[in-house]
Amino acid sequence: MASKTLEEYLDLAYTVEVIHNEDGFFARVAELPGCMTWTDTIEALWPMVEDAKRAWIEDALEHGDTVPEPLDPSPELVLLRLPDELHTQVKQQARREGLPMDRFLASTIARAVGE
């Protein structure tokens, strides 16, 4: 059986657990033992999680180790309806922060849940 490529693994919906405390934000990829990172800001966290996943999977592939896959290979889709005025405010804030709306909303929700 042929294994997946690095990019195929990176496209899978791994479970990322985020913990927020006074030191910043800590994230770990549940399915990849030891794959973790931390930073002071939630905005910096997601690129760092992607870098950690890439490094973990690259290392496993180079050494011929098994790369675990998520139990559910498809991410859960959440439809969020916003009133027009709130939608406009979210879009403007996301633009000010240089983020796409989905990433801005994800980081805002993560901040709210982590606090």
For every residue of the chain, DSSP letters joined together read -PPPPHHHHHTS---EEEEEETTEEEEEETTSTT-EEEES-HHHHHHHHHHHHHHHHHHHHHTT------SSSSPPP------HHHHHHHHHHHHHTT--HHHHHHHHHHHHHH-
Q: Is the pLDDT of residue 19 over 60?
A: yes
The ranges of the chain annotated as CATH 3.30.160.250 are 1-75
For residue 72, what pLDDT is reported?
A: 67
Q: Tell me the C-alpha distance between 99 and 105, whole Å.
A: 9
Percent of the chain whose pLDDT exceeds 70? 90
Percent of the chain whose pLDDT exceeds 90? 48
Q: Is the pLDDT of residue 20 over 70?
A: yes
Q: Tell me the C-alpha distance between 102 and 104, whole Å.
A: 5
* 43-93 residue pLDDT tens: 899 999 999 999 999 999 999 999 999 876 555 667 678 888 998 999 999
Q: Is the pLDDT of residue 1 over 50?
A: no
For residue 53, what pLDDT is reported?
A: 96
1-75 fold: Double Stranded RNA Binding Domain (3.30.160)
